[in-house]
């Protein structure tokens, strides 16, 4: 007899509606020790977005913005992928997940073994000089403070992340649209579906009646309405539980 609890229902959807694509947000990395941006104790509570997180703010005072970037670099240097990242990589390995589309900049999906990762908001793993366009790996940059400067032209280096006011990366958005358009299932993990325009990818899939499996311990009303089934648990618990069903 078919099991009807949410996890087995999600497993049946994932198995029967291929190809599947994951769409991940900050919640997938919370167990790795990265604070979410929008929580009461999150990044924007300590570094107000209008002062530190916009393209205009970087143009006005890049050294000030490096207070935020330096803190993120310090945190990202100390973290490791958690069971949610590892579980998504395992789903890809066993042929049940085609790709991961992520709003995160932490590079943890790749470090966990996911091979096809679309980074909608860029990555903190690389940076560039906005003046002479020289590119850097993050580990090549000196430890903040002070703000790292390009050794060629001495401009303040900028991480390859999408700040508020920046355009979304065209190539990443085009790849994401193609994946969502072809998807039979969308696995939305650790995202409130409130960060536009990225979340429109999932909402548009739901509008076309593509099954959406939502993993979120505290889903918003809008996210619930978009979901076919809700796994109301932290990502680091829900994704391994889902993987375990396929291993049984």
List residues with catalytic annotation. 121
Structure tokens at 82: 């958690």
Contacts of 51 (CB under 8 A, 6+ apart): 57, 64
**What CA–CA distance (Å, rounded) separates 71 from 144?**
8
Q: Which of 245, 248, 246, 208 is nearest to 226 (CA)?
A: 208
**What CA–CA distance (Å, rounded) separates 190 from 24?**
6
**What CA–CA distance (Å, rounded) separates 14 from 11?**
5
Q: Which of 247, 211, 242 is nearest to 6 (CA)?
A: 242
Structure tokens at 157: 């280096």
Structure tokens at 176: 């994401």
**What CA–CA distance (Å, rounded) separates 48 from 209?**
37
């Amino acid at each position: 007899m078919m099991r009807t609890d949410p996890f087995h229902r999600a497993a049946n959807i994932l198995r029967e509606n291929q190809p599947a694509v994951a769409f991940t947000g900050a919640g997938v990395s919370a167990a790795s020790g990265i604070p979410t941006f929008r929580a009461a104790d999150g990044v924007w509570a300590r570094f107000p977005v209008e002062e530190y997180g916009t393209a205009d703010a970087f143009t006005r005072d890049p050294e000030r913005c490096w207070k935020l970037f330096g803190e993120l670099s310090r945190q990202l240097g100390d973290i490791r992928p958690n069971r949610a990242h590892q579980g998504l990589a395992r789903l890809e390995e066993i042929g049940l997940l085609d790709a991961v589309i992520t709003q995160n900049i932490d590079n943890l999906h790749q470090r966990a073994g996911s091979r096809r990762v679309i980074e909608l908001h860029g990555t903190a793993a690389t940076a560039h000089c906005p003046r002479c366009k020289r590119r850097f790996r993050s580990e090549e940059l000196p430890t903040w403070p002070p703000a790292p400067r390009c050794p060629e032209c001495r401009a303040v280096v900028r991480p390859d992340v999408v700040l508020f006011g920046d355009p979304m990366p065209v190539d990443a958005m085009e790849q994401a649209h193609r994946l969502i358009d072809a998807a039979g299932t969308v696995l939305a993990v650790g995202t409130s579906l409130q960060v536009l325009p990225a979340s429109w990818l999932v909402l548009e899939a739901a509008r076309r009646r593509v099954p959406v499996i939502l993993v979120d311990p505290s889903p918003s009303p809008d996210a619930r309405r978009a979901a076919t089934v809700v796994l109301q648990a932290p990502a680091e618990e829900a994704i391994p539980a889902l993987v375990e069903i396929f291993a049984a």
